[in-house]
Structure 1
Amino acid sequence: MLDTQESPLSRIITTALPAHGHVSPLLAIAADLAARGHEVVFLGGSRFAETVERAGVRFAALPAEIDWDDRDLDAAFPGRAELAPGPERIAFDVRHVFLDPVPHQYRALLALLAEFPADAVITDAFIQGMLPLALARPRAERPALIGIGITPSMLPSVDTAPFGLALPPLAGEEGRIRNRSLQEEVDRRAEPLQRYAEKVFAEAGVRLPEGPRGLAQVTVPDAYLQLTVPGFEYPRSDAPASYRMIGALPGNVGEEQPLPAWWDEVTGERPVVVVTQGTLANDDLDQLVAPTVRALADRDVLVVAATARPDGPEALTGLLGGRLPENVRATGYVPFDRLLPHTDVLVSNGGYGGVQTALRYGVPLVVAGASEDKPEVAARVQWAGVGLDLRTGRPEPETVGRAVDQVLAEGRFRERARTLGAEFAAYRPFDTIAELVESL
């Protein structure tokens, strides 16, 4: 038997966009593989270097040209701030956040492989600069490439509406006709972006396969692992064999968070409602956190406002006229894996990881999200029966209050969330990934 203390099982590169919500799942995978005896290097944004190293993983920085700070995307990408959330901003992000870095990402990977000849590369699916590795070389001449789906699946299908429309499946032939018509329209509108993508990949020396980019993200890697369960993802009868759902990962790695002084209150008799805007779209707490606090100020509930920013409690207090309601506890960061077992409802703007973490603990949701992939997450929450989709990113307090009351009062949401929690518990994503790495 191989002595893993003297010789690593495999050499593995993991990589993610330099954004907290992308780094967290890939770092969790890297840390688990390192603990199993593999030699792992994490290629990522420089601001995460200490977190990566605390997790017991070697760090390598992305090139400076693409090492932006996700805490201020508008500063990193001039012109973005002028675009309202919606189609125009999405098109901007596709061009400049996801596509422009492709040649730089690919060159960084090749440079790292030259001094660290890895057996496998495990990548956040949004690092599209890893795709040329498989497009340029036959399998025998390169590492195995494994894509990780950290957002709702964008895989096109005859059974689903195009990603971005936030439409749940429609059964039968009627649904397929609808989906086909919508896909044709989306493809027509996306033609300029498709040509742009082809140009960018040509600069990396490869030809992008025919079809939507969402298809290439799944079919080009040797394996594509979606971090969810079938109960929270639309069925696709035409999904390729490389596409697998493997469950959700546990919380953040390398980021120990102390418990707040009021922690004992979350185990009290009052229902606990947690509200958060996640780690990306949290610059304006008046979108969801403040309206939720206003809505629940007179309710017999404990409201935990998890702002996910160090100045969050102060900023929220300012929005509320300088004083928090008696039943509100505001915090910058809180260990969600310890808070959610005591939570009765999570009010969220639809971060994929946070929503699924709630479901792992059987917590029903109220979701209000308008940016990035959040409308798609919210649509899945309602489709799965685990909560309500408010279909806006900036709800009125009365709307939030009614939704929270409904979720608390109607046991069907909690029951369905617990059923989904049991489904998540049946999966062993770390074991699945490790077994796949070893088989490839």
Structure 2
Amino acid sequence: MSRPSSGSGSRFLFVVPPLVGHINPAVGVAAELAARGHESAWACADPGLVRRLAGADATVFPCAGPVPGSGDGVRPPELRGPEALKFLWERFLAPLAEEMAPGVATAVREFGPDVVVADQQALAGGLVAERLGLPWATSATTSAEFTDVLSGMPKVEEWLNELLGGIRERIGSPGAADPRFSPHLVLAFSTPEFVGPEARTGDQIRYVGPSVADRPAPPGFPWDWLDPARPTVLVTLGTANTDVGARFLSECQTAARERADRAQTVIVDPAGALDSTGEDKGVLIVPSVPQLPLLERVDAVVCHAGHNTVCEALWHGVPLVVAPIRDDQPVVAGQVVEAGAGIRVRFGRVTAPKLGAAIDAVLHEPGYRFAAGRIRTAFRAAGGASAAATHLELLASGAPAQKTA
């Protein structure tokens, strides 16, 4: 396959789903590759989202495919467990793979990458690369797939394997491997210290830790509101849970008000579900926050156990209260608890008193902060975006990937 000349650097095509938590880790890797003289481009069903996160100058090849929160992809908020997993695959991930495939093929033809980097939930990347004979790497932006979460649900596992086989057949890839795991290289943005003793291993799996890089932040955050002499709690449910978060955020607000004399709480409320007109001296309600710089000044995080938020909190050594909703979140929440870095509460049933007790515990019982600090050390030692970029360079050069210590 011919490709335009780009000097001595290599070319990498990142194939990502239209999901913030899956794009952000890849942004850090792409930035590191650029600093080393390589070129990157993107393929996504939401080019505007990629440019917002990766920069307005990012080269993005548009693909067809569903975007969360629109059309048939709107998931009933009451779905949980296997039914939620089935909806996710049948109504979002499988259509996304099949509809993205032509756009990914166009991107490969026009950009001429040396390596395709396919997010674990953007299966078209690996399957198209495989079909065209290109080396490809998996970008695994959640650690849930690195434990045997379906071992107790054989029928669900059988159903998923059949679905994956059907996707492969319709896209026309000749291989037989699980398309969620590249046989060449799997970049796991976590570490065994967090995933746990049963963490998946393999010759091609590299635990590189979180890819945490500077990114555009919303303007206007009232930094002067924060009192450096008081503990600070951040409450956030990420970007994809505004449809189900009102009750939980309301309980958080009540718990925060009850502790306003001894702690300050920042609640992210993008849907405007909370009453923010009152005089809450210790509670700040905002539609968005500059999360990375804020985490440098936070003492505890209350969240939905989204992998991106959890890893960014632990990257800063901040303990958590986790309230998983669906998808990989219960698995990630379990990893937080097993690591000793936080407390799990029930999203749909927790009350303000129980939330308050959990917040008090992670703020004041030293074991949680100690465990979060242990994970922080492991995350930073793993190398993050720099280690991921090195493994991708090796793959592009044809050299065998090197295991990290």
When the two structures are superposed, what TM-score results if normalisation uses the length of structure 2?
0.88
> Displacement of 1:76 after TM fit?
4.2
Secondary structure of the structure 2 residue equivalent to 1:249: coil
Structure 1 residues 367 and 432, CA gap change in structure 2 (3 angstroms): same
Secondary structure of the structure 2 residue equivalent to 1:315: coil
- Hey, what does 1:315 align to over in structure 2? 273
- Which of 173, 184, 187 in structure 2 is aligned with 1:222? 184
What is the CA–CA distance in structure 2 between the aligned matches of 1:436 and 1:38, rounded to whole Å? 13
Identity of aligned residues (%): 25
Any conservation in 1 of the 2:77–2:243 contact (CA below 8 Å)?
no
CA distances 1:186-221 after superposition (whole Å, capped 9, x unpaired): 2224433432332222111235637xx5xx422x34
What is the CA–CA distance in structure 2 between the aligned matches of 1:324 and 1:201, rounded to whole Å? 56
- Which of 165, 188, 210 in structure 2 is aligned with 1:198? 165
CA distances 1:126-150 after superposition (whole Å, capped 9, x unpaired): 111123235435xxx42x2111111
> Displacement of 1:161 after TM fit?
4.5
What is the CA–CA distance in structure 2 between the aligned matches of 1:69 and 1:201, rounded to whole Å? 21
- Hey, what does 1:111 align to over in structure 2? 106
What is the CA–CA distance in structure 2 between the aligned matches of 1:283 and 1:366, rounded to whole Å? 20
- Hey, what does 1:260 align to over in structure 2? 221
- Hey, what does 2:142 align to over in structure 1? 151
Q: 1:3-402, aligned counterparts within 5 Å?
A: 7=7, 9-44=9-44, 45-51=46-52, 54=55, 56-63=57-64, 66=65, 68-70=66-68, 72-73=69-70, 75-77=71-73, 80-81=75-76, 84-133=79-128, 135-136=130-131, 141-142=133-134, 144-155=135-146, 161-163=148-150, 183=151, 185-206=152-173, 209=176, 213=178, 216-218=179-181, 220-236=182-198, 239-251=201-213, 253=215, 255-261=216-222, 263-299=223-259, 300-307=262-269, 309=270, 312=271, 314-317=272-275, 322-323=277-278, 325-402=280-357
Secondary structure of the structure 1 residue equivalent to 2:318: coil
Any conservation in 2 of the 1:53–1:59 contact (CA below 8 Å)?
no
Structure 1 residues 249 and 238, CA gap change in structure 2 (3 angstroms): closer
Structure 2 counterpart of 1:192, one-letter code = W
Runs of 4+ in 1 over 4 A off after TM superposition: none
CA distances 1:2-58 after superposition (whole Å, capped 9, x unpaired): xxx973501110121012222222223223322322121111113325425626421
Ranges in structure 2 where 5+ consecutive residues have no aligned partner: 396-405
What is the CA–CA distance in structure 1 between the aligned matches of 2:296 and 2:288, rounded to whole Å? 17
Any conservation in 1 of the 2:233–2:264 contact (CA below 8 Å)?
yes
What is the CA–CA distance in structure 2 between the aligned matches of 1:33 and 1:46, rounded to whole Å? 20
What is the CA–CA distance in structure 2 between the aligned matches of 1:304 and 1:52, rounded to whole Å? 23
Structure 2 counterpart of 1:43, one-letter code = A
What is the CA–CA distance in structure 2 between the aligned matches of 1:228 and 1:49, rounded to whole Å? 22
> Displacement of 1:102 after TM fit?
2.2
What is the CA–CA distance in structure 2 between the aligned matches of 1:350 and 1:186, rounded to whole Å? 22
CA distances 1:64-104 after superposition (whole Å, capped 9, x unpaired): xx0x333x25x3426x3275233212101112211123233
- Hey, what does 2:400 align to over in structure 1? none
Secondary structure of the structure 1 residue equivalent to 2:226: helix
Structure 1 residues 118 and 20, CA gap change in structure 2 (3 angstroms): same
What is the CA–CA distance in structure 2 between the aligned matches of 1:145 and 1:107, rounded to whole Å? 17
Structure 2 counterpart of 1:77, one-letter code = G
Query: For this pair of structures, how many residues does the alignment match?
Result: 388
- Hey, what does 2:399 align to over in structure 1? none
Structure 1 residues 370 and 424, CA gap change in structure 2 (3 angstroms): same
- Hey, what does 1:427 align to over in structure 2? 382
Any conservation in 2 of the 1:15–1:26 contact (CA below 8 Å)?
no
Q: What is the RMSD computed on CA atoms of the aligned residues?
A: 2.5
